[in-house]
Structure 1
Amino acid sequence: MSKTRKTTPAGVVFRAFPDGPADDSLLDPAELERAGAMQPAVRTSFVSGRAAQRQFAAELLGVHAADLRCDYSCPRCGTGPGLSHGRPGYARSGVRLPLLLSLSRAAGWTLVAAVVSPPPGLRLGVDIEDPSATGFPGFGDIALTEAERRALLGCPDEDLPLERARLWARKEAWLKMTGEGLLVPPGTVDVLSRPGISDPGAAATGLPSRLVAAVALG
């Protein structure tokens, strides 16, 4: 895992790392229960991501990772120590810690975005995408608005996967930020020039240049 913090002008800090074996002793019981129901490859990615997210959070807050407890929140399921999905968060000694987090996984990599001591009401969403996964027939009809499809007209064939992935990453980041997720049809969310979304490159995120990232803050 890279130990370098990557920061945007808006104060979002990134940490990117490849999937691999991880110490699951840092995970809470709810996380371990969820991991236990997964296929081996998915479980490795999940455990690796959660462990790294916790270690990154501890580093940013200046506490021990083993002292953190999950404090996730979901618009539909609420909050509580038994929750292992939704908006990431951590508590220490029963007190929720001042840190916004968002995590995304794709193509063997995980990206965690964070904002330390955020102002009240601030929300964060991050997403990474592999352009090679956007080439299936009908992608535009499912994922893009009419305006976005028009914007891609005339785009060279070799550039289309990258541009499609960029739009998809922006949609995912935005819907993570709002908490709606894919309950909202992505083809109804126009992100061509939506305020609050940016496209950090490899220099900002630490990801391989073949992957695309987007972050939403608002």
Structure 2
Amino acid sequence: MTLVQSPVFELRRLDEVLVAGARLQELGRPAQERALRFASAKDREDFIAGRLALWHFAASLLDVDPARLVPDYSCPQCGPAQDHGRPGFMLDGVPAPLALSASKAQGWVLLAGVVHPSEGARLGVDLEAIDQAAFQGFDDVALTPGEKHFLKSVPENQKAVQRTRLWARKEAWLKMTGEGLRRNPAEVDVLDRPGLWDITSINGERQELPEGFVAAVAIS
């Protein structure tokens, strides 16, 4: 199964997304309840900002008023009407013709979407700060033997970048499949997997990734 077109991306700073308490109701009850469970005000604000950014992104892709879109997240394990899982929206009471994915990292949110995707199309995107894969023991819990062998051939000053690229690819792929980290990432080799690639710029070089970040996208 292939998508009818390449994904459109949008990169936003979370602190630049309008976040107002009165707008929390527009995210739908599942997201409202999840937002209220965050112990940290910063985590709560980032969550709300990410959801609002995706809501407006979806509306811009469809060229409709955001008020016509109702969030409709679905988890492959838990079913529809969730506060997590694959993002989606209802448009005037019917599923909006979109494949969507989003990823937050250290104050940024990366959004990806395809309008009128082919039936059954799936999309996953991931944004990672390079220092997130630097902890001791990461390779043993996250990488396949082939990926470990690949890292041995990488110059020392590039290992952190390449290690994080591998992790971003894994996250994007597992978001796309809907497995998430229920699947052991050390079993998912992403060195040369069709339908998976690094993101180095946004929408034809119009915007670069922030320094210190890498990203990947997976489609099927």
TM-score of the aligned structures, taking structure 2 as reference length: 0.90
CA shift for structure 1 position 31: 1.0
Q: Is this contact kept in 2: 1:196–1:216, CA < 8 A?
A: yes
- Any stretches of 5+ residues in structure 2 without a counterpart? none
Structure 1 equivalent of residue 19 of structure 2:
22
Structure 2 equivalent of residue 152 of structure 1:
151
SS in 2 for 1:161: helix
Distance 1:57 1:23 in 2: 19
* Percent identity of equivalent pairs: 47
- Any stretches of 5+ residues in structure 1 without a counterpart? 1-8
Indicate whether 1:12 and 2:7 are aligned: yes
SS in 2 for 1:198: strand
CA deviations 1:137-194 (Å, max 9, x no partner) are 1110011000000001032221111000100000000000000000001001000000
Structure 2 equivalent of residue 77 of structure 1:
78
Distance 1:149 1:142 in 2: 11
Structure 1 equivalent of residue 194 of structure 2:
195
Which structure: greater strand fraction? Answer: 2
CA shift for structure 1 position 206: 4.4
SS in 2 for 1:199: strand
Aligned ranges 1:1-218 → 2 under 5 Å:
10-20=5-15, 22-24=19-21, 25=23, 26-38=26-38, 39-80=40-81, 83-204=82-203, 206-218=208-220
Distance 1:61 1:206 in 2: 24
SS in 2 for 1:76: coil
Distance 1:191 1:91 in 2: 33
Flag the 1:78–1:128 CA change in 2: closer, same or farther, 3 A.
same
SS in 1 for 2:199: coil
Q: Is this contact kept in 2: 1:71–1:90, CA < 8 A?
A: yes
Q: Is this contact kept in 2: 1:202–1:208, CA < 8 A?
A: no
Q: Is this contact kept in 2: 1:73–1:79, CA < 8 A?
A: yes
Structure 2 equivalent of residue 6 of structure 1:
none
Structure 2 equivalent of residue 5 of structure 1:
none
Distance 2:99 2:60 in 1: 14
Q: Is this contact kept in 1: 2:122–2:176, CA < 8 A?
A: yes
SS in 1 for 2:167: helix
> RMSD of the TM alignment (CA)?
1.5
Distance 2:13 2:148 in 1: 32
What count of residue pairs does the alignment treat as equivalent? Answer: 208
Q: Is this contact kept in 2: 1:16–1:112, CA < 8 A?
A: yes
Q: Is this contact kept in 1: 2:99–2:117, CA < 8 A?
A: yes
CA shift for structure 1 position 107: 1.5
Flag the 1:56–1:134 CA change in 2: closer, same or farther, 3 A.
same
Q: Is this contact kept in 2: 1:28–1:69, CA < 8 A?
A: yes
